[in-house]
Amino acid sequence: MTETVGFGIVGCGSIAEIAHFASIAKTPEARLVACCDINPDTAARAAEKYGAEAWYTDYRAMYAERSDLEAVIIATPNNHHRNQAIAAAQAGLHVVVEKPLAVTNKEAWDIVEACRRCGVKLMVGCDRRFWTQNQWAKQLIEDDVIGEVLMARASLHEHWHLYQNHVAKTDFRLRADVAGGAALPDTGAHAIDLLTWLIGAPVKRAVGVAKRLAMPADYTLCDDTVWLLLDYENGAQGCVSCNRFSHAVSQATELYGTEGTIYTTTDATNPFQSVPMAVYTNRDYAIEELPEILRNHRWPQLFWVEDIVNRPVEKRWTALHPPREPNNYTNMTRHFMDCIIHDEEPLVSGEDGARAIEVMCAIYKSMESDAWVELPLQEEIVPPYYAPLPTEG
């Protein structure tokens, strides 16, 4: 059994700083071996700050020279994901690829197939699944607390200035030829993945729009406004909305079941969802029968009456405050480590990542045809303005 796993990071920009270097440091079985950035100053600074043994400007050299590498995290602009992930798989490395897994559906399935062929693990960095409130939501759905989920909605609204002007290290998000888009592949990637996981079935068909309504054309050609409707194979209906012009950040997920409702928020709360999670169930539970999450994290409104006198427990909205630590990124790295050590399939599989890209590509197609688009797609869809790199591997 592996004792520690040697990690490399490709792309030492903002998400590597916010998420990956820190969570490797917090995971005892993970060891940072090397990092790589096309910008030598960025690579050297990251290596020094986070204690990597070596730094590189070419991922191929890092994969070839570091025999102590077992896994890499790819956190570069979207157009590089395909070639860098496939090269990692061919070097026998397990791979985490930041979301979106790729830009076109063909790129995404190329990565999945290369990892399958080479027998390495592939996980997509959809960290929203690793927020405790979303993990609790998934558990409560599996415990049948809200019955059959028939309708669900996920949104993520965030002004473009916020990340671009204060956090991002490069302007790749503004370049449609590099990123493929903004509201759809950047924020939409999270909302589509989270909704699909919570609903628990693949998307059967999709329709929607991804347009640039607010961002000036001389600033970017990327989309800033997204509305999607999704039909799932289990009969559920989903809705995703995202924009890049709302100054008040908002992320919310609403799950409507035949026996209850769950709301969760991650990035920001708002006056109407002022707690990270709330649950309403219509089921008749005695207090000792309540699923563990509700029993342990729900406070009665009147301590000595509500839970003692009311049988079944009172039907009301229950606000839950999940612990902030371990955070989503630490949970995600810990999970990937466990998958490597215990030879398990990662929670956000390559197939999940590729199906999310299919949804995004279906939206571009649905805008052309003004109609629902069935999945899986039969041809490669290249988002408007995207200029794929020459393929390698």
Ligand X SMILES: NC(=O)c1ccc[n+]([C@@H]2O[C@H](COP(=O)([O-])OP(=O)(O)OC[C@H]3O[C@@H](n4cnc5c(N)ncnc54)[C@H](O)[C@@H]3O)[C@@H](O)[C@H]2O)c1
Residues 98-117 that bind ligand X (CB under 6 A): 98-99
* Placement of tokens 């890209």 in the chain: 357
Residue 286 contacts by C-beta under 8 Å, 6 or more apart in sequence? 311, 312, 313
- Of 151, 162, 168, 214, the residue at the interface with ligand X (CB under 6 A) is 168
Choose which of 22, 29, 39, 237 interacts with ligand X (CB under 6 A): 39
- Any residues with CB less than 8 A from the CB of 81 and at least 6 apart, and which? 74, 97, 98, 100, 101, 102, 103, 107, 111
Reported as type and span, the H/E element at residue 362 is: helix 350-369
Euclidean distance between CA atoms 199 and 141, whole angstroms? 9
Q: Which stretch in 77-85, 129-137, 314-322, 376-384 sits in contact with ligand X by CB under 6 A?
A: 77-85
Is 76 an interacting residue with respect to ligand X (CB under 6 A)? yes
Instruction: Write down the number of H helices and E strands in the chain.
Output: 14, 15
The number of CA neighbours under 13 Å toward the Cβ of 192 is: 34
In the chain, % helix, strand, coil (3-state, to 5) comes to 40, 20, 40
Among 22-30, 70-78, 88-96, 378-386, which window interacts with ligand X (CB under 6 A)? 70-78
Radius of gyration over alpha carbons of the chain, in Å?
21
- Select 43 or 294, whichever has its Cβ closest to ligand X: 43
Positions 238 through 257 that interact with ligand X (CB under 6 A): none
The nearest distance, CB 127 to ligand X, in angstroms, is: 5
CA 123 to chain CA mean position, Å: 10
**Binding flag, residue 22, ligand X (CB under 6 A):** no
CA distance 163 to 169: 10
- Interior CA angle at 88 toward 87 and 94, to 5°? 155
Point out which span in 107-115, 140-148, 169-177, 203-211 binds ligand X (CB under 6 A).
169-177
Binding mask 304-343 for ligand X (x = CB under 6 A): ----------------------------------------
DSSP designation for 72: E
Q: Which of 21, 37, 62, 290 binds ligand X (CB under 6 A)?
A: 37
Q: How far is the CB of 250 from ligand X (least distance, A)?
A: 15
Structure tokens at 90: 């061919």
Strand partners, 156: 242, 251
Applying CB under 6 A, the span of 165-173, 193-201, 247-255, 376-384 interacting with ligand X comes to 165-173
Of 47, 75, 95, 115, the residue at the interface with ligand X (CB under 6 A) is 75
CB 72 within 8 A of CB 96: yes
Q: How far is the CB of 121 from ligand X (least distance, A)?
A: 18
Site string for ligand X, 182-211 (x = CB under 6 A): ----x-------------------------
When binding is defined by CB under 6 A, the residue of 4, 90, 135, 170 that contacts ligand X is 170
The minimum distance between CB 370 and ligand X, in angstroms, equals 29
Residues that bind ligand X (CB under 6 A): 10-16, 36-39, 42, 59, 75-78, 80, 98-99, 125, 127, 168-170, 172, 186
